[in-house]
Amino acid sequence: MPVMAVMMPGMGFSMGPGMKGGAVGGVAAAKAEEKVEKTLFDVEGRCSESFIKMHIAKLPCSVKQEHKGEKAKEATMSKKGEVVCVTGGSGCIGSWLVRLLLDRGYTVHATVKNLKDEKETKHLESLEGANTRLRLYQIDLLDYDSIVTAINGCAGVFHLASPCIVDQVHDPQNELLDPAIKGTINVLTAAKENGVRRVVVTSSISSIIPSPNWPADVIKNEDCWTDVEYCKQNSLWYPLSKTLAEKAAWEFSKEKGLDVVVVNPGTVMGPVISPVLNASMVMLVRLLQGCTETYEDFFMGTAHFKDVALAHIIVYENPSATGRHLCVEAISHYGDFVAKVAELYPEYQIPRNLIVCCPQISFETMCHAQKSTFPMCVEALKLSRLPMDTQPGLLRTKNGAKKLMDLGLEFIPMEQIIKDAVESLKSEGLSVTVLLCGQFEQRRGGLLSGAKNAGGAVLGK
């Protein structure tokens, strides 16, 4: 996606307000909440569905709705040379998606925020097949005309572009909500007007969690939605933006008859193609340098860049793929992730008080332990000053992404995800200075890629 205020693709989480020690405070926070209140919430404080419906109702729908007969069901979605658009093609997930699409013979229209910025373009132009089958477009999510130009002539669209802000959010409406929600509607409108067959929307696990009212004995799945009231009350603007943007996509699909499918990635890591890190990779860097944050409302499991890109292609090419698709190798806790990183890389400054699982306890045992008083849980608890569950109420399972598994996706396990991510950081000579788990400056090859300031950092997704 374009290099913006950082994904967490949607990267599945965003490091920012609402996390312990990171919330916006004082007058600035109050003004931000008041501004959002006027536009997204009704007088009783509920999320205003009319905000979404109002914008969709005003949109044109000149393209006739196609009848979904048997021929449509039997149609082959994948065609060599087919033209597709990838919004946010310069980001970590977007770059991988562009790469795999080119490998499969697609012609790709990839969008960036600034064509003159080599950090957005050079790595894409160097991909195999890019010389003849890749075209870059500069877009602004709030500029409909720029989006139409990129989508014109495309059979399919992958909408990844969406802002993700690390640390403080000073103006939620303009920085997150408008680009995410109105940007999604603009992309879908352009797709409908151009006769696009199917749109894959990149949402996030942040539209599934936080969901504190979900039944405690039920594993979270695609039926679970983020609690917008909880987000509002805790200044969780990124999950709010992803949730409302996805709801807008579904409302548009229903009202305008556009074929939409959604991928909900978790914390996405692995070998980095883009020169700018996404929020998930920054989370890993911060952990390696001693950050003690537990990401209570932002973590649901990990996924490899390649798997997330493949998930997008699978749901695009498979006519039977419908609805939402949770994309994690397993539903797990941040504590599980920390324990595995510490086991694999003991030389780094992993906070020992974060290792909540005994290395001798398998993931399967942990899954079993959450349903019983398994003795090893007591042993695990002794190793930590924190609760065993860094994500209270989140039940672990290896089959959280069953819908994608049933479509044939075989997930890379957490251990390999971590190895690929850390080794990628090492091989690229990346050095990151983390200050108080907050501000940072990222350098790669001597080039300043991130930004360090009082308001937080800007990254690519």
402 is annotated as an active-site residue:
no
Which of 113, 232, 242, 403 is labelled catalytic? 242
Q: Which of 325, 333, 292, 330 is nearest to 404 (CA)?
A: 325
* CB proximity list for 64: less than 8 A, separation 6 or greater: none
204 residue type, one letter: S
Helix axes 118-125, 92-103, angle to 10 degrees: 20
Tokens (6 digits) for 364? 């399967």
Q: Which of 44, 66, 43, 7 is nearest to 256 (CA)?
A: 66
| Residues labelled as active-site residues | 242
